Amino acid sequence: MDDRTPAIRVHGLRKSYKEVEVLKGVDFEVARGSIFALLGSNGAGKTTTVRILATLLKADDGTAVVNGFDVAAEAQRVRESISLTGQFAAVDEILTGRENIIMIARLRRVDEPGKIADDLLDRFGLTEAAGRRVGTYSGGMRRRLDIAMSLIGDPPIIFLDEPTTGLDPEARIEVWKVIEKLADGGTTVLLTTQYLDEAEKLADRIAILHRGRIIVDGTLAELRKLLPPAKVEYVERQPTLEEIFLAIVGEKGQS
């Protein structure tokens, strides 16, 4: 597939739960091998969007194409192209780290599950802890193991739905390094987060989802142009992503 073709293309996506309209016509594209951050407050519709893209939920209207496959018409092909990691690590605490990976590798019927486990443990800095029960792992280690397990089969696209929720600052930095390595290796990452510093640190492109709509979509440099730089003691200071987010969401909330 042409590298210039977007890994993900979303157009006019709508979803309602009874009388509540969660997505009101969402549009965005994600370039291959990039980190795309879908930024928004709780209830903005981030997880709903990811669930539709991962074929776990059907949209009421609009189209979504993932790795060249329509999520509604070619759901199985989409599932073969992606991996999804949610807000809480889906690991078995009784098993060791290595046993967790081997179990998933066998379920996915990949060859040489032991070799795959050893390679992933090494890649994510978990070799020394491979023989320990996951119940003894720190939050950051569990999240790294969870992401490692999601990469079995080398999916070209990975969805990370608020992957650092509940982690302490040190563990968050551990996960950030893992995400950066994924993109460096050519994996396309769609990251949902409510942490502004996370999007600012990781994303090649940022979309702000507010009240069911994308209200801004661009690089951090492009978003910074939306607000004038502050001048303090004759030194120009660029606005932070937090300042941009609050200014834009505040304006939309008043309209």
What are the chain's domains?
A: 8-254 (3.40.50.300)
Q: How far is CA 244 from CA 205, 207, 247, in A?
A: 14, 12, 5
* Residues 93, 141: Cα–Cα separation, whole Å: 12
C-beta contacts of 130-136 below 8 A and 24+ residues apart: 130/96, 130/97, 130/98, 131/96, 131/97, 131/98, 132/96, 132/97, 133/93, 133/94, 133/95, 133/96, 134/91, 134/92, 134/93, 134/94, 134/95, 134/96, 134/97, 134/100, 135/93, 135/94
Q: Are 201 and 240 in contact (CB under 8 A)?
A: no
* pLDDT given for residue 1 in this prediction: 57
Query: Of the given ranges (51-55, 135-139, 147-151, 225-229), which has the lowest mean pLDDT?
Result: 225-229
Q: How confident is the model at residue 43 (pLDDT cuts 50, 70, 90)?
A: confident
Pick the residue with more confidence: 212 or 167?
212
pLDDT at residue 254 above 60?
A: no
Would you place residue 23 in the very low, low, confident or very high pLDDT band (cuts 50, 70, 90)? very high
Closest Cα to residue 177, out of 126, 98, 220, 124? 124
pLDDT > 90? residue 242: no
Confidence class of residue 172 from pLDDT cuts 50, 70 and 90?
confident
**Average pLDDT of the residues in 232-247:** 74
The reported pLDDT for the residue numbered 171 is 78
Amino acid at residue number 171:
A
What was the pLDDT predicted at 241?
85
Please tell me the predicted confidence (pLDDT) of residue 227. Answer: 75
| Among the ranges given (90-94, 95-99, 100-104, 211-215), the one the predictor scored with the smallest mean pLDDT | 90-94
Angstrom distance (rounded) from CA 7 to CA 53? 11
Strand partners, 213: 210
DSSP state of 110: -
Coil vs helix vs strand at 242: helix
Average pLDDT over residues 56-79: 96
Q: Which helix (H) or strand (E) holds 217?
A: strand 213-218
Most confident of 26-35, 136-145, 155-164: 26-35
What does the DSSP 8-state code read for residue 96? B
Q: At what angle do helices 113-123 and 97-107 cross, to 10 degrees?
A: 130
Higher pLDDT pick, 1 / 149: 149
SS3 78: helix
Q: Supply the pTM of this predicted model.
A: 0.83
Burial level of 236, CB count in 10 A (0-12/13-18/19+)?
exposed
Give the pLDDT of residue 129: 94
* Centroid of chain to Cα 26: 17
Q: How confident is the model at residue 234 (pLDDT cuts 50, 70, 90)?
A: low
| Matching residue, tokens 């994510």 | 124
Residue 237: the pLDDT is: 72
Which amino acid, 126? L
Give residue 218's pLDDT band: very low, low, confident or very high (50, 70, 90): very high
Chain-wide mean pLDDT for the chain? 88
